[in-house]
Structure 1
Amino acid sequence: MLCMSKISISWDQFTIPTAASWVVKFVCKVKNYFSDQIGYQWLQSAKYSIKGTYTQLRCLGTKVPWQKYVWNRLTIPKHRFIMWLAMLDRLKTKDRLFKVGISTGDSCPICGAQVEKVEHLFFECELSRQCKLLVFSWLGVQLNRVTVFSLLMGVQKYSRSKYRRFIIITAVASLVYNIWRARNAAIWSLHIPIVQSIVKTIQAEVKGRVMNLLNSKTSSRDLDWFHSL
């Protein structure tokens, strides 16, 4: 039996045989990519780790100030995704669709009074504004902010408890998601849900999600606040 620890292969000089299987060719292709990006030192490292190699390979972009709010672990994943698109201004609002000739108009499908942009939908539109007021009244929070980002920043300053802050951010994500869902219903089903119905859905989603992820380290004071909702 060969002792693999004593075998030394010069991977940087290795030529892939033409008859090699697709698996071998793919492995060598990945090796070549790694070596081109970070050099051959990773092949000789005695403490190789996947995490370390990934850190070297990935592009280090500038961190955005809202990342910790969007990627809150309590938030329902599909809610995170829609809020992420809203923060990037990448939702397919009618103003964007109209500019590329996909939509015949750019007015808000809910109120019809203004051009539908992310800024209008969250929270200048009367329906979204009313939903926001009722949701924050339910949470016992008073914040007069008119954009998603300013609302999240207000939550950060308002709540001293990390647990409560995460729950409020979870509610904001649900609020954004359900307003976007109501907007889609107005377009595709020609039906606009009433404010009370949207708020009830948000309350049920937030309480159901948090109940499933309750932490045993949560203080009794925070638990009492949550159960009182």
Structure 2
Amino acid sequence: MKAAYNDGKWLPDTKGYTVRGGYDWVRSHQIKPLWYKLVWNSWNVPKHSIITWMIMHNGVNTREKLYRRGCCNSDACCICENAPETQSRLFFDCGYNKAIVSLIHNWCGLCISFSGAMAGGYGNVDVKMKKPVYALILNACVYHIWAQRNSARINVTLMMPSMVVQKIKDEVGQRIKFKCNAKLSRQEET
């Protein structure tokens, strides 16, 4: 593709500038991170992917960040109140999170690993068909842990880990059913 920007100036083009052309030019210069397919795939629920994407970019406002900015009077974890609420603590080290991940493992046998996901790993999954399901479950876990953290902070309420896992199971089941029905519908059309 012809260079479109040089030394702080847009270069003239005989075809004219289009937003799509500019977007494609900018996008083509970016390398996708290792975790890209874990977060952005058609199996995931979009609102789950957005939270996971924010976490991958260290973009969620944990209490530790809010405390540093002067927006709250404590940096203690909203869930356990035992340590500062950092992103690492909330998603990797908190006992509440570990209980949810353990129940998920008991349910479907997948070893959900948030730190592994950040490195682009799929835990103990090696079958291609299971990778989208792993990503779906991982994103649902992240979303619901974040939702419970917000509930603990705002409403001072917290669901039992087993109830959170039941919500995850329900959403994952609905999404898998939707994806499988959509695939069958497309096959029937041809």
Do these two structures clear the TM 0.5 threshold for a shared fold by scoring above it? yes
Instruction: Give the number of aligned pairs.
Output: 175
CA-CA distance at 1:39 after TM superposition? 2.2
Instruction: Describe how 1:204-215 pairs up with structure 2 within 5 A.
Output: 204-214=170-180, 215=183
Tell me which residue corresponds to 1:149: 117
Q: Per-residue displacement from partner, 1:55-112 (whole Å, max 9, x unpaired)?
A: 2355723321111111021110000000001111100100100011001110101001
Tell me which residue corresponds to 1:61: 30
Letter paired with 1:41: T
TM-score scaled by length of structure 2 = 0.82
Cα 1:148/1:118, change in 2 over 3 Å = farther
- Among 144, 154, 159, the alignment partner of 1:178 is 144
Tell me which residue corresponds to 1:123: 92
TM-score scaled by length of structure 1 = 0.69
Instruction: Describe how 1:162-173 pairs up with structure 2 within 5 A.
Output: 162-173=128-139
CA-CA distance at 1:210 after TM superposition? 1.3
| 1:200 paired to 2:173 | no
Q: Rg larger in 1 or in 2?
A: 1
Tell me which residue corresponds to 2:4: none
Cα 1:141/1:57, change in 2 over 3 Å = closer
Letter paired with 2:56: M
Cα 1:139/1:191, change in 2 over 3 Å = same
Distance 2:34 2:125 in 1: 17
Instruction: Describe how 1:1-229 pairs up with structure 2 within 5 A.
Output: 37-43=10-16, 52=21, 54-58=23-27, 60-142=29-111, 145=113, 147=115, 149=117, 153-155=121-123, 158-214=124-180, 215-216=183-184
Is 1:131–1:195's contact at 8 Å kept on the other side of the alignment?
yes
Is 1:38–1:56's contact at 8 Å kept on the other side of the alignment?
no
Q: Which deviates the most, 49-58 or 109-118? A: 49-58
Gaps of 5+ in 2: 1-8, 185-190
CA-CA distance at 1:159 after TM superposition? 2.0
Distance 2:122 2:177 in 1: 25
Distance 1:86 1:123 in 2: 12
More helix by share: 1
Say which structure, 1 or 2, has more relative contact order (CA 8 Å, 6+ apart): 2
Distance 1:53 1:190 in 2: 46
* Alignment RMSD: 2.4
SS of alignment partner, residue 199 of structure 1: helix
CA-CA distance at 1:138 after TM superposition? 1.2
